[in-house]
Structure 1
Amino acid sequence: MDAPDALPIDPAASLRLNRTRTGIRTRPAPERNTELTHPQLYFNREISTLQFHIRVLEQALDEAHPLLNRLMFLLIFSSNMDEFFEIRVAGLKQAIGIDESAKSRDGQTYQQTLADISQITHEHVARQYMILNKVLIPSLEQEGIRFLRRANWTKAQQHWIASYFENEIQPVVSPIGLDPSHPFPRLVNKSLNFIVELDGQDAFGRTGGLAIIPAPRSLPRLIQLPAEVSSGEGTDYVFLSSMIHAHANELFPGMIIKGCYQFRLTRNADLAVNPEDVSDLASALKGELLARRYGSGVRLEIANNCPAHLTTFLLQRFELSEQDLYLVDGPVNLGRLMAVIEGAGRPDLLYPPFTPGLPRALRRQTGSYFDTVAEADILLHHPYQSFAPVEQWLKEAAVDPDVLAIKQTLYRTGPGSRIVTALTEAARNGKEVTVVIELRARFDEADNIELASRLQESGANVIYGLMDYKIHAKLMHMVRRENGRLRHYAHLGTGNYHATTARLYTDYSLMTAHPEICQDVHLIFQQIAGMGQPRTTRHVLYAPFTLNSTLIDMIDREAAHARRGCKGYLMIKCNALTEPGLIQALYRASQAGVKCDLIIRSTCCLRPGIEGVSCNIHVRSIVGRFLEHTRVFYFRNANKPELWCGSADAMERNMFHRVETCFPVLDKKLARQIKKDMDTYLLDNCQSWQLEADGHYVATPLPGQQEAISAQETLLYAYALKR
């Protein structure tokens, strides 16, 4: 097993920001005449995803970020790894159970992939805890934010903690002794638990053995000490796990505690709903949400001082192997440290807040949003520009007596959504409101079920989407009576209708009254809500019908232009690139001489830089303050450029198993604006990583004497700070 002791030889070197190479060794590049379907032309999807998570972890060492933001990156890495195990590793294990010889597109068996995942994750989880313990915690202590270990508690702190344990923890903790009448408890996914080894005899004559202490989920995992027992200026925190360790003997009076060790089990959390067995999707999902908490185990994290016989006992209990065991030097549930970022009260250790900007047309707006949008399309670039106009437009529509109908897709919305409030108000005002809610938005299923009920109670027509296809498109459509005629308006975006993520994710959204685009949106809503053959749209592409094939056609068109002597160029920016048809089209374009700039935030299965195949393809990833989320497709098209934005990533699931949209930006001024933004990303020399042919990502060297260019900071200044 590659456990935390399998660290780099030089621990100090392992804690420096890796500005050279990150990734794993891959097989040699194929020969020049290799067919475009050859496995060696594809990177492994799971490994590529892991590489992105590692790039996020690297941000925790980048001193260009404020200290608490660096901690946040480390915690995001932890959260990303949780989901990676819950979904991706769990999926691999399930697939192996069906077919042990199954292979991915790169020719590697799933068994080999799991072995590689184990090697990489053991190394970087250990690195994560080293960064936390050796870099971030000491740096936070210098700023007066302290995490107190039991050995360092003062007498006053010990007394306060003992009182807190007696009054707040002990009344809600239910330790479980393991014996024939008390079998091993069914532990909730990712819950904090303790395995306790006991000696002695209890009141019923039972001799010591093992017990489990499930930490109540209602208790905070990090407790802030009051000022009167603080160690000095600043803030002192104590982990719940430390309190339970210190007072575990009080939970087993008269028994001897031989050892108490925290652990956490990660389970398969993917939902599986069989369309043939479902008559009511919402009811079926409610049952699956309960089952998610108790799926099969995929990873066991446990304190690194836990004796081998106890780790073996737990592995056997959860039917896991040594490959699935992670011995950690710190809290097993790092995500709870987010409470420090939110509650420390240290804005000086975070990026300074900013007020998102507005397009000029909205800054000088005097009338209604409908009048402004009717005059010209409005493009918003979030988070640099405000999401509020989208909310305010819908709010205006909800009370406008001339608005007759509103249709909206909702994938993720967030609590207290103004979008939802406006939709319910519109329904109560007698407007025809139709909301397409995707109940299966991963990890938001319960919220969306509740949201659907709220909208239905207001009188809105709620559609749960389609059994076999997730509704991932970001669309809003409004019909308004103007001068005796009906006029259509639409909003299309690359991101969710979620005000919080609109301040954290980069996205484009378009407010338009273009008759043909609005009619396309109307037809797509009819297609989703009703039945019938695919509708023919004039401008908007939509999956699973026209999006993939048209993107391939546009890539092939660029290649044809290049073969005729035109200067071929295309640029694609999205979150992931895995769809083999698109990858092969890009290979063909490269072979024809088309320069292809790809800005792929996370997973990329395309192998760039192969002579005769992909030497004209350049892949980079931007990781910074904001999560890159825009999906943009640009084609030079023989000096008749086309630019498209969409909701879909270049993945099989998006192209063939979801309802997605991709819309052209027809206003040339707005298209040039987006193209300029994309060019800024290509100039980034502060937060960009270049993908090499061998699978490593190379961080762009620091600019030195050259001008330092951070794309995100440049765009923030241009859109929000420059007034």
Structure 2
Amino acid sequence: MSDQSVAEVEKKVVQSPFETSESNQKESVKESDVVEDIVLEPIPEQPLDPSQVSIEKRLPEEINLSDPELYFNRELSHLQFNARVLEQAMDENHPILNRLMFLCIFSSNMDEFFEIRVAGLKSQLEYSRETTGPDGMHPKKVLGLISEQAHKLVRRQYRILNDIIFPKMAEENINFIRRSEWNDKQAAWVKRYFRDNVLPIISPVALDPAHPFPRLANKTFNFVVELEGRDAFGRENGLAIVPAPSSLPRLVKLPDDVCESGDNMVFLSSIIHAHADQLFPGMTVKGCYQFRLTRNADLEVDSDDIGVDLAGALRTELQSRHYGSSVRLEIADNCPIHIVESLLTQFDLTEQDMYRIDGPVNLSRLMAVLDLVDRSDLTYEPFSPGLPNKLAKPGGIFDSVKQRDYLLMHPFESFSPVVDLLSEAAKDPKVVAIRQTLYRTGARSPIANALVEAARNGKEVTVVIELRARFDEAENLALASRLQDAGAIVVYGVVRHKTHAKMILIVRRENSELVRYVHLGTGNYHAGNARLYTDYSFLTCDKEIGEDVHRVFQQLTGMSKELKVKKLLHAPFTLRDRLLDMVEAEAENARKGEPSRIIIKVNSLTEQRLVRALYKASQAGVKIDLIVRGICTLRPGIKGVSSNIRVRSIIGRFLEHTRVYYFYNNRNPLVYLSSADGMDRNLNNRVEVAFPVQDYKLARRVKKELEHYLNDNTQSWLLQSDGSYQLSKPRKDEYRSAQRALMGELANSSRSS
């Protein structure tokens, strides 16, 4: 699930230990009988052919590590990740409302995939700017494979919804009542609702020379209506477009007095469909069909505009985001072909871009169910994040951090110390300056409130805000304005390099000395995300790290040549090359017969030089475990190339977001935590930092937590050499869940260390 998709639903999710409920255990056998024809089939990244295994027949010295056969396509790997998210809706270990949540997240993920990734491929073809990745696949072929696989996934999504999720929710007396099922009381109530809430604000548009096709915004909900008859002006028959007002809820709960029991809801689509004739008095409605258009939503800020005013250029671009070029058409599966063809022509799309839908066209809006029903028994139960005792003392966080380093793993451990650090700094008269990077946080978040208070209290507050954080641009513009109004200095990082590093630097006057306190993290400063994403937070008063962070801020806010840092690894300058050096060092140790080991946990792995380095290390005999949540272009298990590499993806209740780089280093392990994934954009085109875990006990703890992921056999998907993923199958009574283990060790407790 993408970061943005999870953020959209964070307020609706109730948290709990990852347990299989008794009710779920009892129904596990029955579920397979509900839709026995829904089978989990691996979807290969790309079709197998003899050449894909021919590389195994070559001698190692004959193998070119840039050979396209050794790389999976980035976009198809991304689609595979979405497929794994969809399969969570089939996992009986999740409560039923959370299974619905995963179905909604899949829908939101697919929206973003089409808005950005598919749109980008189409733009390459439109402007004859085709480029190929390490896999060597032409964008046109990639689009064809995406269409083929995405159609399978969407069909599967709606079969899961209609054949499993809805029936199981009905068993719990949560019902979605279609218009053909309304009784007289319900029909009368819906009619009044339509008259009072829908009819006054809906605006049908008949299509004729005087009424051109309306300009439909990205992902808006619409109907195409086929009409018969003659109206008051003599116009005969034809089509009309009915945009559903965005102000109306997509799901409406029926009052208890028109239902016998339970929670009962109707779709806005059913309400409009049932009363479409009232929108066209005197005309006959031959058909009414819902549809939704997806457009290119990637912002393209002109480089000349960036030089003048990035904020102004973004504000201008945001206004046009909703009306980019067409990418995908979702339409009711019973819509006649002549209407479908008319819409495809109107939107300049092909049949490959059209998806027939057996249900609501925007399933992500079904998340509203969690607001409409009060059924905590059908969602995750809450848990209390753990918190080290010394950090729990009010007003004493600076003393605690000065004594020792602290490492927190969210959401199993509380995010509150990070907020407390800033809140105390805002009030503390000894604090003279605060610097922070912000990527996604919210204009009214606790972090933002603390920075505003600090600025108003006379602290020197400097904030580096990344305005181009995708889909958070408007929120970040609002945040920038709020901070500037409070007196903070706001900068937008470096042109053409997104600032993705997660850093707080607090300068405090203690006696006659200025002391630096630092927070470094793998995730964003968003309290909501910290409840749903697994991320590390590191609090330290280490002098050299403080100086390094200070230098990075100097580069971000001013102008200077590359400044040397001692302990941090800093993209785009030292991080990639240092990672390559550490991989090569492990390979050299293996060649000498020394023990060697590499464990990397990231969200995505695509950087070709890093992948090639891992291939070389595997050839040297290094045992390599890669825990890659999403995109992975490395092909494991190829004889003579990657037979020593295992790749797994953990998909579970929490979004895996930690980035960890572990190297055995001849019995002196090097452990780095980072804001950076193993991607081209992170290592080459963004401002990122990786920070060392120097304390032996903390480094050992990180290694142990990595081992939980490597031992996971319930939510772990293993990448095969053909590009498919296989879900681990635990033996009876040998269930191991990394997230469950971490919750047991870290949550619901206070600890002395």
- Secondary structure at the aligned position of 2:230 is classed as coil
Alignment counterpart, residue 554 of structure 1, candidates 582, 601, 622: 582
| Partner amino acid, structure 2, of 1:67 | I
Alignment counterpart, residue 119 of structure 2, candidates 80, 90, 103: 90
Q: Which runs of 5+ in 1 are unaligned?
A: 1-9
- Secondary structure at the aligned position of 1:200 is classed as strand
- Secondary structure at the aligned position of 1:80 is classed as helix
Corresponding position of 2:616: 588
Conserved? CA contact 1:26–1:695, under 8 Å: no
Q: Distance in 1 between matches of 2:444 and 2:167?
A: 38
Aligned length: 710
1:699 corresponds to 2:722: no
Q: Deviations over 1:611-645 (max 9, x none)?
A: 11111100000000000000000000000111000
1:12 corresponds to 2:35: yes
Alignment counterpart, residue 296 of structure 2, candidates 261, 265, 268: 268
Equivalence map 1:372-411=2 (5 Å): 372-411=400-439
Alignment counterpart, residue 478 of structure 1, candidates 502, 506, 515: 506
Corresponding position of 1:710: 737
Question: How far is the alpha carbon of 1:69 from its aligned partner?
Answer: 0.8
| Partner amino acid, structure 1, of 2:226 | E
Question: How far is the alpha carbon of 1:275 from its aligned partner?
Answer: 1.7
Question: How far is the alpha carbon of 1:360 from its aligned partner?
Answer: 4.2
Q: Distance in 1 between matches of 2:433 and 2:137?
A: 52
Conserved? CA contact 1:414–1:500, under 8 Å: no
Corresponding position of 1:195: 224
Conserved? CA contact 2:516–2:543, under 8 Å: yes
Conserved? CA contact 1:191–1:264, under 8 Å: yes
Question: How far is the alpha carbon of 1:97 from its aligned partner?
Answer: 2.0
Q: Which 4+ residue blocks in structure 1 deviate beyond 6 angstroms?
A: none
Q: Distance in 2 between matches of 1:176 and 1:367?
A: 61
Conserved? CA contact 1:573–1:600, under 8 Å: yes
1:661 corresponds to 2:689: yes
Q: Distance in 1 between matches of 2:335 and 2:505?
A: 58
Q: Distance in 2 between matches of 1:523 and 1:387?
A: 26
Conserved? CA contact 1:95–1:102, under 8 Å: yes
Conserved? CA contact 1:686–1:703, under 8 Å: no
Q: Distance in 1 between matches of 2:63 and 2:304?
A: 42
Alignment counterpart, residue 180 of structure 2, candidates 125, 141, 151: 151
| Partner amino acid, structure 2, of 1:375 | Q
Equivalence map 1:275-354=2 (5 Å): 275-278=303-306, 279-354=308-383
Question: How far is the alpha carbon of 1:367 from its aligned partner?
Answer: 5.5
Corresponding position of 1:106: 135
Say what the alpha-carbon RMSD is for the aligned residues.
1.4
Q: Distance in 2 between matches of 1:369 and 1:467?
A: 36
| Partner amino acid, structure 2, of 1:524 | V
1:501 corresponds to 2:501: no
Q: Deviations over 1:77-117 (max 9, x none)?
A: 10000000000000000112233764332121111100000
Alignment counterpart, residue 655 of structure 2, candidates 603, 627, 642: 627
Question: How far is the alpha carbon of 1:205 from its aligned partner?
Answer: 1.8
Conserved? CA contact 2:455–2:488, under 8 Å: yes
Conserved? CA contact 1:477–1:490, under 8 Å: yes
Q: Distance in 2 between matches of 1:11 and 1:223?
A: 28
Q: Distance in 2 between matches of 1:121 and 1:704?
A: 34
Question: How far is the alpha carbon of 1:334 from its aligned partner?
Answer: 0.8
Conserved? CA contact 1:621–1:688, under 8 Å: yes
Equivalence map 1:540-689=2 (5 Å): 540-689=568-717
Conserved? CA contact 1:14–1:127, under 8 Å: no
Question: How far is the alpha carbon of 1:538 from its aligned partner?
Answer: 0.2
- Secondary structure at the aligned position of 1:412 is classed as coil
Q: Which runs of 5+ in 2 are unaligned?
A: 1-32
Alignment counterpart, residue 48 of structure 2, candidates 26, 32, 42: 26
1:126 corresponds to 2:162: no
State the TM-score, normalizing by the size of structure 2: 0.93
Q: Distance in 1 between matches of 2:371 and 2:593?
A: 57
Conserved? CA contact 2:603–2:630, under 8 Å: yes
Equivalence map 1:361-440=2 (5 Å): 361-363=390-392, 365=393, 368-414=396-442, 416-440=444-468
Q: Deviations over 1:184-240 (max 9, x none)?
A: 01001000000011111112222221110001111000000111112x321111000
Question: How far is the alpha carbon of 1:345 from its aligned partner?
Answer: 0.9
Conserved? CA contact 1:100–1:111, under 8 Å: no
1:54 corresponds to 2:83: yes
- Secondary structure at the aligned position of 2:598 is classed as strand
Q: Distance in 2 between matches of 1:407 and 1:14?
A: 56
| Partner amino acid, structure 1, of 2:448 | V
Conserved? CA contact 2:522–2:537, under 8 Å: yes
- Secondary structure at the aligned position of 2:99 is classed as helix
Corresponding position of 1:3: none
Conserved? CA contact 2:83–2:153, under 8 Å: yes
Corresponding position of 1:225: 254
Q: Distance in 1 between matches of 2:36 and 2:390?
A: 52
Alignment counterpart, residue 173 of structure 1, candidates 202, 206, 216: 202
* Structure 1 stretch displaced more, 98-107 or 163-172: 98-107
Q: Distance in 2 between matches of 1:226 and 1:105?
A: 57
Q: Deviations over 1:124-167 (max 9, x none)?
A: 10000000000000000110110001110010000000000000
State the TM-score, normalizing by the size of structure 1: 0.96
Q: Deviations over 1:343-398 (max 9, x none)?
A: 311111111111111124424x4761110000000111000000011001100000
- Secondary structure at the aligned position of 2:236 is classed as coil
Closer/same/farther in 2, CA of residues 39 and 16 from structure 1, 3 Å limit: closer
